[in-house]
Amino acid sequence: MIKTASFAVVHFTVAFAVVYVLTGSLVIGGLAALIEPMINTVAYHFHEKVWDRIRARRAARDQAAGVARVPV
């Protein structure tokens, strides 16, 4: 959990720094640092759902073909 928390701090810091450098605004930098990770979290959820479907289709195809595959 500590590694996850430290990554979150790095993520927020980078998001803030990039937007602050581009705009010169502390407010816009702060908003971007808060909003971007929230949107990214939702996008990641759907990304994982797509990959779960891909894995399930591969497993079904391999099972039908009698192929053993190590899950990724």
Express each pLDDT in 28-59 by its tens digit.
999 999 998 889 888 989 999 999 999 999 99
pLDDT at 55: 94
The Cα–Cα gap between 44 and 23 comes to 27
pLDDT band at 14 (very low <50, low <70, confident <90, very high): very high
φ, ψ for residue 26 (rounded to 5)?
-65, -40
pTM for this prediction: 0.59
pLDDT confidence of residue 40: 86
- Mean pLDDT, residues 23-28: 97
